[in-house]
Structure 1
Amino acid sequence: MQRGPVFAAPYQLSADEGSESDTYARASNPGWRDLESALATLEGAAGALVVGSGMSAITVVLRSLLTAGDTVVVPSDGYYQVRAYARERLEPMGITVHELRTADMAGEAADALLASAEGTTVVVAETPANPSLDVVDLRIVSEQCANAGAVLVVDNTTATPLGQQPLELGADVVVASGTKTLSGHSDLLMGYIAASDADFLAGMERERALSGTVLGPFETWLAHRSLGTAGLRFERQCANALALAAVLETHPAAHRVRYPGLPGDPAHAVAAGQMSRFGGLVTFEVDSAEQFHRLVAGSDLLVPATSFGGIHTTADRRARWGDPVPDGFVRLSCGIEDTDDLVADLESALSAL
């Protein structure tokens, strides 16, 4: 059974100085240890660190690994805020920033870039990428990074450890937004880092403490509570995603449907080789932003919202946030509603376009 949240900032100190497990909650606390142990087990890692958000996870990792003269490679079709952080914060510090499409991260372009990179090189791969849903072969990119002496960081948010094990596939570090599918109730912000290299973890733990990007006690408890149903929720989300993708790929109002679980998807072969489940995200395009809003208005179940991974099915027009996608590009996050109900609702909404 999970223990309740511990609402404490300072902890009572011992006369035997240095013997305490906890002294101040920004450095350590029992709630973190319980949640981090569970996350490390899920990711197959030696250890994990929880932080205040998914962006905190990636920024803590990059700040702990990179200094002036180093190089970072980020996906050009992945989460846009990672690119923004690299350009707006790391580049002015003298860190060279390169962008590569997810599909190009395992191949000649990546090899050439790694061969010419200066200083410590960190490659950030997000697979499936958000929102493109392209997939990179992690076995290949991890081998390329190892041969070049680069560090491979994999964002496992979309796949979750229930669908993909990046460390087993050769990654050095895993980051993820626990805000999304793992916590799954759209009621908290949380990120985490997982790794098996003790030096990496120590440096990142120090960066967390110095930067103060910490997770509060109640959010820690909520996230740990949610892990007990994560497998059940994710199984239904994946089933719903496949069912809705199948509807969309044959409907004339939907274009360029992407879901790695579809046999005809360009990423399916690679995804099937490294993923046990294909996730709850589906993307497609309608003709315009106006059509997107008509689609949502014509549905009883689609909730217009950003983020993803919650128990309710949501639709997000990603061009609104600055992603380099067409105005009618839709990211559908499938919830845990009855599959037949979702299919009927989507078909009805599409028929009105």
Structure 2
Amino acid sequence: MTQRTSPNMGEFLHLRGQNLSKGEPIALPLVQSSMYHLPGLPEDFPNYGRVSNPTWTQLEHALAHLEVAPCLCFPSGMAAISAALFATLKAGDRLLVPADGYYVTRILSSQFLAKFGVEVVERDTAEFTEGGFDGFSVVFLETPSNPGLDLLDMSAIASAVRDAGGITICDNTTLTPLGQRPLDYGVDIVVSSDTKSMAGHSDALMGHVATRNPEIFNAVEEWRKFSGCIPGPQEAWLLHRGLETLDVRYDRMCTSAALLAERLANHPAVKSIRFPGLENDPAHALAKTQQIRFGFLISFTLETEAQAEEFINSCALLRPTTSFGGVHSSAERRARWGDAVDPAFIRLSVGCEPVEELWQAFSEALERVSKEPTVSS
């Protein structure tokens, strides 16, 4: 099995600097232009803002270093997922998606791809391999699943799908290339919502596609060019800046999450908890074999929906919001979006706050929700 290694982040931070001429800016310039000076034949020069942009080019160079694969950037994670699916599927194909994964991927598949003649099949993550993969053109993986944090054996599934004549796409949003490297386990395409921890500051929507297959890369690039599904230069610049602190942010978040998960697991107010880093978690053994880090997401359940709402809304160091991966810790009750989870289920995204301050805030909030209501005299 491929060794689980992180990218060389020192080299990453100097990717741009190694190729600078005297007097050039260290920070990536933001190029905000729809047109380029283009006398004569276009040849291989930038020609139009829908096709290329120097800020994108530098961002994709940075992403490619992290993924160890050619990358294309997109204006959101769903744009990246859409590009990967529309570039690899045609009428009559079969698509397998996780029934308990990110719900927007399921909606895109069932409400739009199905209209174009793609047969969409859903399976729960825990039963994903049951029935095999014969007849599927594309198998879409999400591991850990969002929000349940169940895992899939990427190497086994990628091999089985390839033997059956299909390709695999893995959504690696929850772990990033610093926490997990699906391409190293035989997955054909990685997609990511870089809106989350890759950018890290909750101020930019972005996504990317990575693949080591030249034919797939060209198909996705063509899809982007002709669909116009392109990122803005400002957002590309923000993501590039965010990537420069990804290593330190991600390390802090994952380290804190591991400590907090242990404490939450032992708290009497917590009915159940999922975190792959816990030794008694059902996914722990597999996580140790294919993940570099256990991540910064923790899923846990309190006794009642009211307690979950009170915990989220009253905790001083939690922002009640959807999405995750920012420097600010955040949480939400996923049942409000229709996920098939307990009404008191909470998805917690651990941020960059000092961990002991976080635990104090969590403890105080759990103490409040655990108290019996007072009776008026």
TM-score range, shorter chain: over 0.9
Name the residue aligned to 1:19: 43
Superposed displacement of residue 211, structure 1: 1.6
Task: Figure out how many residues of one structure are paired with residues of the other and give that number.
Answer: 344
- 1:78, 1:131 within 8 Å by CA — same for their partners in 2? yes
Task: Indicate whether 1:97 and 2:120 are aligned.
Answer: yes
CA distance in 1, matches of 2:360, 2:174: 25
Superposed displacement of residue 175, structure 1: 0.2
Task: Indicate whether 1:76 and 2:99 are aligned.
Answer: yes
Superposed displacement of residue 293, structure 1: 2.0
Name the residue aligned to 2:360: 344
Superposed displacement of residue 20, structure 1: 4.5
Percent of aligned pairs with the same amino acid: 42
Task: Indicate whether 1:184 and 2:200 are aligned.
Answer: yes
Name the residue aligned to 1:234: 250
Out of 157, 160, 165, the position equivalent to 1:141 is: 157
Name the residue aligned to 1:63: 86
CA distance in 1, matches of 2:295, 2:158: 22
CA distance in 1, matches of 2:145, 2:39: 48
SS in 2 for 1:175: strand
Name the residue aligned to 1:10: 35
Q: Deviations over 1:267-299 (max 9, x none)?
A: 011011001101110001122332122112432
Out of 257, 270, 275, the position equivalent to 1:259 is: 275
Query: Where do residues 111-260 of structure 1 align in structure 2 (5 Å cutoff)?
Result: 111=132, 114-115=133-134, 117=135, 121-260=137-276
Flag the 1:110–1:225 CA change in 2: closer, same or farther, 3 A: farther
Code of the aligned partner of 1:267: A
Code of the aligned partner of 1:169: Y
CA distance in 2, matches of 1:298, 1:8: 45
Superposed displacement of residue 149, structure 1: 1.1
- 2:312, 2:332 within 8 Å by CA — same for their partners in 1? no
- 1:247, 1:347 within 8 Å by CA — same for their partners in 2? no
The answer to which of 26-35 and 281-290 deviates more is 281-290
SS in 2 for 1:331: strand
SS in 2 for 1:98: strand
Out of 322, 332, 341, the position equivalent to 2:348 is: 332
Give ranges in structure 2 of 5+ residues lacking alignment: 1-25, 370-377
CA distance in 2, matches of 1:19, 1:90: 36
For normalisation by structure 1, the TM-score amounts to 0.95
Task: Indicate whether 1:44 and 2:68 are aligned.
Answer: yes
Task: Indicate whether 1:287 and 2:317 are aligned.
Answer: no
SS in 2 for 1:2: coil
CA distance in 1, matches of 2:60, 2:27: 13
- 1:298, 1:348 within 8 Å by CA — same for their partners in 2? no
SS in 2 for 1:342: helix
- 2:272, 2:302 within 8 Å by CA — same for their partners in 1? no
Superposed displacement of residue 44, structure 1: 1.6
Superposed displacement of residue 110, structure 1: 4.5
For normalisation by structure 2, the TM-score amounts to 0.89
CA distance in 1, matches of 2:177, 2:159: 21
Code of the aligned partner of 1:7: Q
CA distance in 2, matches of 1:171, 1:164: 12
Name the residue aligned to 2:15: none
Code of the aligned partner of 1:33: T
CA distance in 1, matches of 2:311, 2:294: 25
Q: Deviations over 1:176-220 (max 9, x none)?
A: 000001110000000100001111011111111122111101100
CA distance in 2, matches of 1:42, 1:238: 18
